[in-house]
Structure 1
Amino acid sequence: MGEAKPLPLSITVQETEEPTSEEQVTVSTNSSVVPRTNNYKRWMRIVLLTVLVLAGQATATLLGRLYFEKGGKSQWLVTLMQLSGFPILILYYCLSSLKKPIVAGSGTSPPASAVVLALVYVSLGLIVATYCFLYSIGLRYLPLSTYSLISTSQLAFNAFFSFFLNSQKFTPFIVNSLILLTMSSVLLVSNEDSSTHNRVSRGKYVIGFVCTILASAGNGLDLALAQFCFRKVIKTNSLPALMDFVIYQSLVAASAIAVGLLVSGDWKGLKGEMEEYELGKVSYIMVLVWICILWQGFAIGSTALLFEVSSLFANSVTVVALPIIPVLAVIFFSDRMGCVKVVAMLLAIWGFISYVYQHYLDDQKPNKGEHNTSVNNEA
């Protein structure tokens, strides 16, 4: 009997079909202002996060080059600084809305066992540690502009590994991207001017080039494996699962690099390196601290964009900074920007745009299907 009381209210509301003009103005105003306000706030967050990602990646890369330029010699230390700031992510994890999903998922699959998850975190963490160390070698021996342009090849490697792991289709746009990024790398390795930068021998230049290529391949493999693991092993796209993945993977990678620093004996020369640093001891410490902070700012921004928008948008913003770095390298480090590098940069940007556009088309397909379904239901 008590459940029948709300019925007159619903009938009364339905019978009131013609509100006054003042009520219409009030309702229309409230319904338009609130969504617009929320939309503005959301886009302000997206813009701020995008700036955080671009500024963090570009500035941290420049500081990494500054470390080597002014007397730093330890690739292990620079790599450790890239990975050791992951505890900052715990704060973001605690303050975020943990129940909001990134994308719609079934949520019905049983969670993976702790042993399987541990194997995933350890395996991918070791891959991250390896390619980050290789990136540090490339950053030491290559001009910054050359290093950043070669790093764009991670898109091509990601497409290649995704073909086998995630059924990535080689569409004309993907093939075009692979060809352009390959041509860009070939132009850079054949550029004789780059090998004489900063008194680096031709042999060290080749080492830096090969290490950067291998690092880009490792980065592309890591992204493809992460997507595969989320789809086949973790089977959920919730924010807690994503943050667990980032934190545990970073913990394994940082631990591996810390062990490498101790075993290699590089830690013994760090005190003398700090004393002989051209900019002074304080600058030496501040460069390393800011490398750590900026890379974690980059990690927080890219993770938040993944949660706020989509993985496509987050990955696109991550790679956008790579063509920006050569311009900054010319300004701050007097890197040579000859015709060969300009052509290589244009090819890399073209390949990047082609790659992103294909993923944009892929991302739109489910939306189209949902739209058609809703239209058919309404009809």
Structure 2
Amino acid sequence: MVKQKFTPFSINAVVLLTVGIVVLALHSDGDKPANETHKEYVVGFLMTVIAAVLYAFILPLVEFTYKKARQEITFPLVLEIQMVMCIAATCFCVVGMIIDGDFKVISREAREFKIGGSAFYYTLIVITGIVWQGFFLGAIGVVFCASSLASGVLISVLLPVTEVLAVICFREKFQAEKGVSLFLSIWGFVSYFYGEYKSGKKVLEKYQPPETELPSLQVSDSVA
């Protein structure tokens, strides 16, 4: 969509990041709630996959919008695009929550929240919303400064890093697949940005004017 040129480094990064996430996903267990049927679990899984595919199109579409815009893309305009996207997403989610009756469950979940009670539950909701706003702003900001591929690479490498932070903060088990996923993701991350560094260096050398040396002056001895 945005005519992104793939290089051996970027292809290597995409493959490594994908394999790292797949390794992390295939060895996950215990994510099925006790009262959920197999049909509901399959439907939820398929909806999650569809949501991931749709999200994969968001960043290239944002970059496509930047390229096709008939005005100069500035950072204030990027903030306006972010605001419109978030308002549209919020309205869509609110309608879905009203139809499904999710707002009626919030008060019960707050009362049953085990860490800090209802006050901490509502505080956590507000903080989570602020953090996600920063995340989305950073994602489209990277698209504005670099490309949608660079933003996708940064987002992908965050998943295994999050798993490691869960081990540190919540004392989860650091299993072998988490280590393999982290290694592959960091390898892909380094591969991508090393390729970008080399490409940028070649472009700089191409457009940099050659250095010119001043001709040496011949000094003649004069006889008085």
Q: Deviations over 1:30-85 (max 9, x none)?
A: xxxxxxxxxxxxxxxxxxxxxxxxxxxxxxxxxxxxxxxxxxxxxxxxxxxxxxxx
Q: SS state of the match for residue 195, structure 1?
A: coil
- 1:1-379 alignment, distance < 5 Å: 165-191=1-27, 194-196=28-30, 213-279=49-115, 280-299=117-136, 310-311=145-146, 315=151, 321-372=158-209, 375=210
Mapped to 1, the partners of 2:131 and 2:192 lie a distance apart of 27
Are the aligned partners of 2:9 and 2:195 in contact in 1 as well (CA < 8 Å)? yes
**Which runs of 5 or more structure 1 residues have no equivalent in the other structure?**
1-164
The residue type equivalent to 1:185 in the other structure is I
Are the aligned partners of 1:195 and 1:205 in contact in 2 as well (CA < 8 Å)? no
**Which runs of 5 or more structure 2 residues have no equivalent in the other structure?**
215-224
* Percent identical residues: 31
Mapped to 1, the partners of 2:180 and 2:37 lie a distance apart of 22
**How far did 1:285 drift?**
0.7
The residue type equivalent to 1:359 in the other structure is E
Count of aligned positions? 209
Highest RCO, 1 vs 2 (Cα 8 Å, sep ≥ 6): 2
Q: Deviations over 1:125-184 (max 9, x none)?
A: xxxxxxxxxxxxxxxxxxxxxxxxxxxxxxxxxxxxxxxx12223322222223223322
Are the aligned partners of 2:10 and 2:191 in contact in 1 as well (CA < 8 Å)? yes
Mapped to 1, the partners of 2:37 and 2:85 lie a distance apart of 35
Mapped to 2, the partners of 1:236 and 1:217 lie a distance apart of 29
Query: Under a length normalisation based on structure 2, what TM-score does the superposition of the two structures give?
Result: 0.73
Are the aligned partners of 2:160 and 2:178 in contact in 1 as well (CA < 8 Å)? no
The residue type equivalent to 1:182 in the other structure is T
Cα distance change, pair 217–208 in 1 and its aligned pair in 2 (3 A): same
Cα distance change, pair 291–282 in 1 and its aligned pair in 2 (3 A): same
Q: SS state of the match for residue 178, structure 1?
A: helix
Mapped to 2, the partners of 1:370 and 1:353 lie a distance apart of 26
Give the structure with the larger helix fraction.
1
Mapped to 1, the partners of 2:12 and 2:29 lie a distance apart of 29
Cα distance change, pair 312–224 in 1 and its aligned pair in 2 (3 A): closer
RMSD of aligned C-alpha atoms?
3.6
Q: Which moved more, 1:328-337 or 1:242-251?
A: 328-337
Cα distance change, pair 169–312 in 1 and its aligned pair in 2 (3 A): closer
Are the aligned partners of 1:188 and 1:341 in contact in 2 as well (CA < 8 Å)? yes
Mapped to 2, the partners of 1:206 and 1:356 lie a distance apart of 37
Are the aligned partners of 1:188 and 1:340 in contact in 2 as well (CA < 8 Å)? yes
Cα distance change, pair 258–210 in 1 and its aligned pair in 2 (3 A): same
Mapped to 2, the partners of 1:205 and 1:341 lie a distance apart of 24
